[in-house]
């Protein structure tokens, strides 16, 4: 079949355009980064998001030969710092150190979010997941999950648990536990894990979820008692501690996690380059061992799998909010 004369010009035009954009993408990946790159951590310095964000920035700086600097923008549960990345130019020169709080949990409790996680951000690389353990004060007469659940059922709403605040992973993880166990606990929100841990040791609250790096020394010192792990498998930091799922709450899993994201519409060539660098660096034994020794589970999910993971997390926490009766404000 012959091609109509009126279309031949268009066809001749399309091919050079395709070649142009392909070569432009290749040129971009060869020159990126040509200047300083900001990695915004939406929390104050010192937490796991900051630590892993700085690790990513250091690896990218070392391999790509350009400065990747961390910029801490704490406050507001990580939402303002995340919004700053969403509103930045989608050119690869502003990246986000991602955390489930502002990305997957806050959308379940905030009716007016300034961004849509799935629409406004491009996931690049999930560095690691971090499980926690459920800890009780030594005066609580429960040495495992079944005993604790039985205790809570005879005094509904009387056992106090601490969290880093309303809408945080610690808050929702404990509500997920309570919902699956069929118990009612009283939420006492704090401004951070350090504060509620002090009150838990002092006996002002009875139970809280803490990361393994905190749990292990407190358990070993006898200051608190770990009764269950939130992970899929037992942690090497506390290998004798059964998971919560092992102890009867089949399917219960809760992780904090950290990764790297960019504004939506960031060129795919840039996304691919950042992902390849971080994946290669994380595969090095010294990096993997360092994360494992800190109680993290190395992940390494790439852009598409990371996006699917985030989507599943949003759905999960929305169900928890509904089951726990946590209303959007």
Distance CA 194, CA 257 (A): 19
pLDDT of residue 260: 98
pLDDT of residue 45: 87
Span 80-100, average pLDDT = 97
pLDDT 10s digits, 165-223 = 888 888 999 999 999 999 999 999 987 788 899 999 999 999 999 988 889 999 999 99
pLDDT of residue 329: 67
Q: Which residue has the higher pLDDT, 99 or 20?
A: 99
pLDDT of residue 63: 97
Span 48-61, average pLDDT = 94
Q: For residue 9, is pLDDT > 50?
A: no
Lowest mean pLDDT across 13-27, 228-242, 273-287, 306-320: 13-27
Per the structure block, which two tokens stand in for 49? 């998001």
Q: For residue 23, is pLDDT > 70?
A: no
pLDDT of residue 71: 97
Burial class (CB in 10 A: 0-12, 13-18, 19+), 192: middle
Confidence of residue 110 (pLDDT cuts 50, 70, 90): confident
Burial class (CB in 10 A: 0-12, 13-18, 19+), 160: middle
Distance CA 177, CA 323 (A): 11
What does pLDDT average to over the chain?
A: 89
Distance CA 248, CA 181 (A): 9
Let me know: does 227 contact 134? Beta carbons within 8 Å: yes
Residue 78 DSSP one-character state: G
Domains, the chain, with CATH or none = 34-130+255-324 (3.40.190.150), 131-229 (3.40.190.10)
pLDDT of residue 245: 97
pLDDT of residue 13: 41
Lowest mean pLDDT across 13-27, 69-83, 147-161, 284-298: 13-27
Q: For residue 20, is pLDDT > 60?
A: no
pLDDT of residue 96: 98
pTM (2 d.p.): 0.82
Confidence of residue 253 (pLDDT cuts 50, 70, 90): very high
pLDDT 10s digits, 263-288 = 999 999 999 999 999 999 999 999 99
Q: For residue 137, is pLDDT > 90?
A: yes
pLDDT of residue 29: 60
Confidence of residue 75 (pLDDT cuts 50, 70, 90): confident
Let me know: does 199 contact 190? Beta carbons within 8 Å: yes
């Amino acid at each position: 079949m012959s091609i109509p004369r009126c279309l031949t010009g268009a066809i001749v035009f399309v091919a050079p355009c395709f070649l142009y954009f392909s070569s432009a993408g290749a040129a971009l990946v060869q020159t990126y980064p040509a200047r300083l790159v900001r990695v915004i951590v939406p929390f104050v310095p010192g937490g796991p998001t900051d630590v892993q964000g700085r690790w990513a920035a250091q690896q990218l700086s070392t391999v790509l030969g350009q400065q990747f600097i961390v910029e801490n923008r704490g406050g507001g549960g990580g939402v303002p710092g995340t919004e700053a990345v969403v509103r930045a130019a989608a050119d690869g020169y502003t990246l986000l150190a991602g955390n489930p709080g502002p990305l997957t949990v806050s959308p379940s409790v905030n009716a007016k979010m300034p961004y849509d996680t799935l629409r406004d951000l491009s996931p690049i690389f999930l560095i690691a997941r971090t499980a926690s353990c459920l800890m009780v004060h030594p005066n609580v007469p429960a040495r495992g999950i079944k005993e604790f659940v039985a205790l809570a059922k005879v005094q509904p709403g009387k056992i106090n648990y601490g969290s880093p605040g309303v809408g945080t992973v610690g808050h929702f993880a404990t509500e997920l536990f309570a919902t699956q166990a069929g118990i009612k606990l009283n939420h006492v929100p704090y401004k951070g894990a350090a504060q509620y841990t002090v009150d838990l040791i002092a006996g002002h609250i009875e139970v809280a979820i803490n990361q393994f790096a905190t749990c292990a020394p407190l358990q070993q010192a006898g200051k608190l008692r770990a009764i269950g792990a939130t992970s899929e498998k037992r942690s090497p930091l506390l290998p004798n501690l059964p998971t919560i799922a092992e102890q009867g709450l089949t399917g219960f899993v809760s992780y904090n996690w950290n990764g790297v994201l960019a504004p939506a519409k960031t060129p795919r060539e840039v996304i691919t380059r950042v992902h390849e660098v971080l994946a290669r660096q994380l595969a090095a034994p010294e990096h993997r061992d360092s994360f494992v020794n800190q109680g993290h589970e190395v992940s390494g999910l790439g852009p598409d799998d990371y996006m699917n993971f985030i989507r599943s997390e949003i759905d999960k926490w929305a169900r928890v909010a509904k089951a726990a009766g946590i209303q959007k404000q």
